[in-house]
Amino acid sequence: MIDFLRQILGQRILNYYHLVCAIIANILYGFPSRKLHVIGVTGTDGKTTTVNMIASILRAAGLPTAHLSTVNAQIGDKVYDTGLHTTTPSPFLLQKLIRRAVNAASFFLVLEVTSHALDQYRTWGIKFETAVITNISHEHLDYHKGLSSYMAAKGRIFKNVEYGILNMDDGSYEYFSKIHPHLTSPLEGEELKREQLLTYGLTANAKVWADNIEESLIATKFRVHPPDSKAGAMAETISIELNLPGKFNVYNALAAISVGVNYNVAPEAIQKGLRGVSRIPGRLEFITPPSVPPHQAYPKSEYAFGGPRQGEGRMRVMVDFAHTPNAIENLMQFLRPKISGKIIHVFGSAGERDVTKRPLMGAASDKYADIIVLTREDNRSEQVQDICVQIAQGITRKQNGKEYFIIPDRREAIRTALRLAQGSDDLIIVTGKGHEQSLNVGGVETPWDDREIVREVASSATSRGGG
């Protein structure tokens, strides 16, 4: 229905419809965000993980905290599954959930926010106290018509905020660091006051920075240098053990740590909060072999620093949400040196969405994967074959040789990847859907979960004797 209205009325008119809905929803639920300290997290990649990290840190500090993210929402003791295709809910659902957070005596609300939601006024009326930017890369340019418009939409989250937290190592830093918190337009802005802006990164130029990074397939250790708010010098370092892998998760953790620093959370609570975040659904998630009891799937000894061991006869399959060129590049770059065998990459690109990113996704995979299997991913009204061909424009290898295939049926693509794996030294990585529990085919949402499909296909292959 929304797509139909967009075609008839145009996006600008539809945005005003969302604005009216947001105004009514705020009035109906009594502007609930005004009773909370709201932390908004936006960016291209890493939003969900960062939201979960921030919430975990605040809870570890004993601060009643609700959070709303793509994967899940937690309000009080209740956890809600949000594994569909929308990051920021409709204005009415959003305000309803915020009211629940208030009724549950929450002190903080950590909210994942998209550029679409900001551009469409779906977050109107929400009083953001702190705004966090993870990173900005190529995404949603079909909607925003350009990177500058995309960043301008993201920048709206800074309107009236008290604190800004920025990734100093990201290319967007210079742009966002000049946004005044009380101006709507970033292009007309002034610099944030020094006490209002907290930066993070991997060099000492940032106020919160990390070094001594050690990483495996399942975990990361690093040292954090927080600022000393009293003396202006560096405080004692904090040793972090993160049950999530990858340098990209170091950045996510630094963003969350910066929030903790901003609200004077004790180092011990920061450490405890980050240790409590692990196995976020659909994010670098190893799939339990169906033939192995869950408690024996990966014995604790295999989770020693260094990750699940290779060469023990178990097929290794990972599911991840990576669906942008930057996310795929970071993911594959992280995996490549840790996999002695072949990396078999199964992925596609969403239909009726940013077309220009497709060959960039193909090129990112082409750099690191040994075998690529292109397939369906929410093709909507587009032909899967056409989407795959566009992705393949960034791939240099030969099609349908031993390294590159187009298999439109996603189940068959996964089945093919499992057949191509030659042992436990290989890794099959299925990206694009992650936690999502539906697949859009021809405009119709049908039940789908990559993780369950992997288990089903692997179980079927095992029952037939493999292959």
The number of C-alpha atoms within 13 Å of 228 and in the hemisphere containing its C-beta is 8
What CATH number did the domain enclosing 41 receive?
3.40.1190.10
114-152 confidence digits (pLDDT tens): 888 888 889 999 999 999 999 998 665 555 456 778 888
Q: How many CA atoms lie within 13 A of 278 on its CB side?
A: 12
Give the closest residue to 107 by CA, choosing from 29, 38, 30, 26. 38
Are 301 and 208 in the same domain? no
Q: What is the pLDDT of residue 7?
A: 54
Tell me what pLDDT residue 141 has.
Answer: 52
pLDDT at 430 over 80: yes
Co-location of 220 and 351 in the same domain: no
Same domain, 389 and 458: yes
Q: Which of 54-68, 132-146, 155-169, 334-348 has the lowest mean pLDDT?
A: 132-146
The one-character DSSP state at 278 is: B
- Is the separation of the CB atoms in 289 and 314 below 8 Å? yes
- Boundaries of domain holding 211: 2-275
Task: Give the number of C-alpha atoms closer than 13 A to the C-alpha of residue 328, restricted to the C-beta side.
Answer: 30
- 74 located within any domain: yes
| 6 has pLDDT over 60 | no
Q: What CATH number did the domain enclosing 306 receive?
A: 3.90.190.20
d(CA 389, CA 194): 48
Q: Tell whether 407 and 330 lie within a shared domain.
A: yes
Per-chain mean pLDDT for the chain:
85
Instruction: Identify whether residues 254 and 293 lie together within a single domain.
Output: no
The tally of domains found in the chain comes to 2
Higher pLDDT, 124 or 461: 124
Burial letters 125-143, b for 16+ CB under 10 A, else e: bbebbbbbbbbbbbbbbeb
Q: What is the pLDDT of residues 175-234, one digit of tens each?
A: 888 875 443 344 444 455 555 889 999 999 999 999 999 999 999 999 999 997 544 444
176 falls within a domain: yes
Percent of the chain with pLDDT over 90: 65
460 or 257, greater pLDDT: 257
